[in-house]
Structure 1
Amino acid sequence: MLQPLRKPTEVEPGRLGRLAKLPVFFDLHGKRAVLIGGSPGAAWKAELLAAAGAQVNVYATEICPEMEALLARGAADGCLTLHRRGWTPEILNDAALAVADLEEEDEAEAFASAARRSGVPMNVIDKPGYCDFQFGSVVNRSPVVIGISTDGAAPILGQAIRRRIETLLHPSLSSWASLAKAMRKRIMEQLPQGLPRRAFWERFADLAFQGRPPENMGSSLDDVLRQIASRPIGEVGRVTLVGAGPGDAELLTLKAVRALQAADVILFDDLISEDVLELARREAKRLMVGKRGGRASCAQGDINDLMTRLALHGKHVVRLKSGDPMIFGRAGEEIEHLERSGVPVDVVPGITAGIALASSLGVSLTHREVAQSVRFVTGCAKTGRLPDNLDWRGLADPLTTTIFYMAGGTAGAISARLIKEGFSPDTPAVMVSNVSTDDERWTGPIAELDHASDRRDPSKPVIIGIGRVFGRAGQVSLGSAPASAQRLLAEA
């Protein structure tokens, strides 16, 4: 039996959910605003109103140093005028809005009643019952302005949200938004409505989030317009080598977070933590291309070819590396390959494991009178053994701090070679797994590095520090530490 045909039907959009407050933006440019009070809180509100272009009239018999300093230096826009007297209802006439810092309840009630009679939107600081509107946390990339409200329930949470948003929005976004405002009329006139105009603004938005100011594209508005309009859809993308640091997501740079948020594809090592990947753009495709000693690994040539192929198809590829890309990360090979293929490449540095080691132990790698230099050295060649061409005589300098990367399996050989070159067997050393993530840690003399290495978890990446600066490093025993290592901790 044939089923009856059904005609397409229009479906109404879902209902907007409840809003605790309506987010609106006042145009205060050139308008009069009244502010009552001379406290630090009032000073901040006065600066905020003036930054929005208001002519702020401050009424206060006494003012705090913060208000005095604000009046002396002025605000980013608008103007500030101090009236050394208390407030009266007539000052609210013709005001666009009014703000007051009043401690006494009866005074706040009188102000609110006067504002209502004058038809002026009002706010009494820290008294929600006398507020027609509230101030939220502000992310300022003007003309892009983002306001954040928690309906007064959690101001600190609002500030935390503001900080998180600010890490994702590069300061150059302000210049791009100003440019969009300047060119909008011309685009409306020159490009027909529909796909051509939409395609232009999509290219514009892609450029705005790349972290480069529009001035890089030319010295005039016409130059920028031509470059944006001439960019074909599906043009060559780019690759960003990003240092993910030692594992703790809070150690990422702001630039690294922005790159992760702008990526189309992320190629990451298997040492990258889940917390770091959580900060990436949700829509980004993620591909693990890890390389680990003694395990099945992706060939470097295959990684190079994959990055190039994706970028040539117009993708923004983030190559996410643990630590810093430029320290034992084979970034040089990747950059050379990409440049030969005509793919633009940027580098975002990260905190390398050696620096994270020093921070986690509270140890200065170049502590005065203890160490005059620091060296970062690879502890493993392609063969899996110690490199043959290391400057062991230089590494045995007692005034040098040495950080050995990828040295878990060669710790005993490092110890033996340094002692052979004249290093004291009692020289302090540390061995740490998964730096910055509170994993295993051992401290002791280099003579016992071999023993400590035998007891480590071979599946975890290890970094070794050697030098007198580690003499006072704390110890978390890796297995059962040798007795002399326990003595060293007790003497520290």
Structure 2
Amino acid sequence: MQQQSTRASSSPRSDSSERISDLAKLPLFWDLAGKSVVVAGGSEGAAWKAELLMAAGAIVHVYCPEDALGDTMQTLLRKAEDPETTKPPAAILHAHQWHLGIFAGASMALADCETDAEAHAFACAAKAAGVPVNVIDKPAYCQFQFGSIVNRSPVIVAISTDGAAPILAQAIRRRIETLLPPALKDWARLAHNIREEVNIRLTPGPRRRRFWEGFVDSAFSTTRPPTETEHAGFLKKASILGDAPATGRVTLVGAGPGDAELLTLKAMRALQAADVILFDDLVSDEVLELARREAKRMLVGKRGGRASCHQEDINEMMVKFARAGKHVVRLKSGDPMIFGRAGEEIERLRREGIAVDVVPGITAAIAMAAALGVSLTHRDHAQQVRFVTGHSRHGELPDKLDWKGLADPNQTTVFYMGGRMAGRIEQTLRNSGMPASTPAVVVSAISRFNEQRWAGSLGQLRAAVDDLGLESPILIGVGQAFSASTSTAQADRPMVRSLSPDHSTLHAFR
């Protein structure tokens, strides 16, 4: 019998999931309030950069002969010199070309240069003066770049593609614009106003983080700005939290089948709020990448035929961390309530008096149906659907399954974790009266980069699984609902396989 580990894994994967992936550029937010910035040129591009810098509070010194100023730059300079304002001018025109003496005291320098020779000269002069430099549309002469911006100041989101695809950055910005309500800027200002008082009431740690999680939930649950009474209301909540005893909680989160885009928004918020994440072996790195950076991550995977954590040990870890006041996320592949032993975990936590919530996830069978374009309850084929475990805790076929019922031609059945039992599933269904010609599908690594699919008949099931291999989790679908899946799968991107009628030839196609 294979020895089982009783501790959380400290495998390389567990360590690597905590590191930040490579960055093409380091994103920074620069305080330019009251600082001098040099802009050489009077073009549309130079005017746009000057306006952006002025919006950040910089004093922009524009070096350009008057006859070379574009209309936009002229308008910008006129607004900056408006006599009705009591502020000093935010943009100052120096009506001549730039020269070596203009960089003293500048925080940064920008230029719109027509030739590479001029760009090279400007960049060298700025660098020699120790001033960071950007030459518009000439990345070879740029020490920094401007991203596409979503402005909900004081909330600012900047997007960069490292200059490779500005149109892509703009498309990302448009998508983010739709996710962030305009009133977010008012909520951010309220957060700024109450932050100092909240920090006095709440020491760093779980209580303070819980307060701000509640604040964020309020901000994103409405499209309106905060009201006058909410200022005092949030401070009262901070005081209540500060006086309450430290108590942790556990959230069981469904990570879905693997594709990070299939996570729910609620799952994302839980991952971002976690102090400790206990994650299964099947949870993808893409999902873990979305978790809070500071969270402690522990691999507690349970895989058939591999060293695994005992369920009792996982329960003990959840209790220990929660009692220490931590927010524990138990991250499970698929949906926590489908073959995830969530019931045992919930029972233990409730016995210990620990608060527990569940965030559903997309279970693998539903992801498979979506990928194949198959309705599991197509009214022409099935009046019911069953999700069935393909093996018992002892590694055999479950002995309590109603195989006669599973052979019913008017239903769809999906077997989870049935790879090693594929041959016995095939034979038992046939012995129970299901024809060998019944449509069947097998999908491994559903929604992941290495996803593979097979479509054929029940009589070919064992040979198909033998060919696909058992390296990745396998789903087996049986029933008339899959009758059209072969033609659907052929047009899709992952590798799809089918067996010839006599089982002698394996056909692979994309």
**TM tier, shorter chain?**
0.5 to 0.7
Q: Which sections of structure 2, spanning at least 5 residues, go unmatched?
A: 1-24, 34-66, 82-89, 92-110, 113-135, 137-145, 222-228
Judged with a 3 Å threshold, the aligned counterparts in structure 2 of structure 1 residues 156 and 254 are, in CA distance, closer, same or farther, namely farther
Judged with a 3 Å threshold, the aligned counterparts in structure 2 of structure 1 residues 201 and 315 are, in CA distance, closer, same or farther, namely closer
Instruction: Provide the secondary structure at the position in 2 that maps to 1:336.
Output: helix
* CA displacement 1:373-420 (0-9 Å, x = unmatched): 322111212222222222333322222111111111222222223223
Partner amino acid for 1:117?
R
- Matched ranges for 1:242-321 at <5 A: 242-321=253-332
Partner amino acid for 2:200?
P
Aligned to 2:48: none
TM-score by length of 1: 0.63
Aligned to 1:208: 212
Structure with more contact order per residue of length (Cα contacts < 8 Å, sep ≥ 6): 2
1:481 to 499, 502, 507: 499
- Matched ranges for 1:351-390 at <5 A: 351-390=362-401
Report the Cα offset of residue 304 of structure 1. Answer: 0.8
CA distance in 1, matches of 2:477, 2:368: 8
Contact 2:423 2:462 in 1 (8 A): yes
Aligned to 2:354: 343
Aligned to 1:70: none
Aligned to 2:155: 145
Aligned to 2:465: 453
Aligned to 1:113: 74
Report the Cα offset of residue 247 of structure 1. Answer: 1.6
Judged with a 3 Å threshold, the aligned counterparts in structure 2 of structure 1 residues 413 and 212 are, in CA distance, closer, same or farther, namely same
Aligned to 1:6: none
CA distance in 1, matches of 2:77, 2:29: 19
CA distance in 1, matches of 2:367, 2:158: 34
* CA displacement 1:186-216 (0-9 Å, x = unmatched): x75xx9xxx735628984454222564399x
How many positions carry a matched residue from both structures?
Answer: 379
Partner amino acid for 1:278?
E
Moved more, 357-366 or 174-183: 174-183
Instruction: Provide the secondary structure at the position in 2 that maps to 1:346.
Output: strand
Aligned to 2:57: none
* CA displacement 1:53-104 (0-9 Å, x = unmatched): xxxxxxxxxxxxxxxxxxxxxxxxxxxxxxxxxxxxxxxxxxxxxxxxxxxx
* CA displacement 1:12-36 (0-9 Å, x = unmatched): xxxxx999996789xxxxxxxxxxx
Contact 1:444 1:488 in 2 (8 A): no
Judged with a 3 Å threshold, the aligned counterparts in structure 2 of structure 1 residues 311 and 402 are, in CA distance, closer, same or farther, namely same
Contact 1:367 1:469 in 2 (8 A): yes
Contact 2:147 2:160 in 1 (8 A): no
Contact 2:499 2:507 in 1 (8 A): no
Instruction: Provide the secondary structure at the position in 2 that maps to 1:199.
Output: coil
CA distance in 1, matches of 2:265, 2:465: 36
Aligned to 1:34: none
Judged with a 3 Å threshold, the aligned counterparts in structure 2 of structure 1 residues 243 and 159 are, in CA distance, closer, same or farther, namely farther
CA distance in 2, matches of 1:166, 1:118: 28
Report the Cα offset of residue 180 of structure 1. Answer: 4.1
Instruction: Provide the secondary structure at the position in 2 that maps to 1:213.
Output: helix
Contact 2:252 2:356 in 1 (8 A): yes
- Identical-residue share of aligned pairs (%): 51
Aligned to 1:391: 402
Instruction: Provide the secondary structure at the position in 2 that maps to 1:451.
Output: helix
CA distance in 1, matches of 2:479, 2:192: 58
Aligned to 1:81: none
Report the Cα offset of residue 160 of structure 1. Answer: 6.2
Report the Cα offset of residue 357 of structure 1. Answer: 1.1
1:421 aligns with 2:425: no
CA distance in 2, matches of 1:165, 1:364: 32
CA distance in 2, matches of 1:175, 1:309: 39
Judged with a 3 Å threshold, the aligned counterparts in structure 2 of structure 1 residues 428 and 240 are, in CA distance, closer, same or farther, namely same
Contact 2:201 2:239 in 1 (8 A): no
Contact 1:167 1:254 in 2 (8 A): no
Partner amino acid for 2:309?
C
1:471 to 479, 483, 506: 483
Contact 2:257 2:362 in 1 (8 A): yes
Report the Cα offset of residue 465 of structure 1. Answer: 0.4
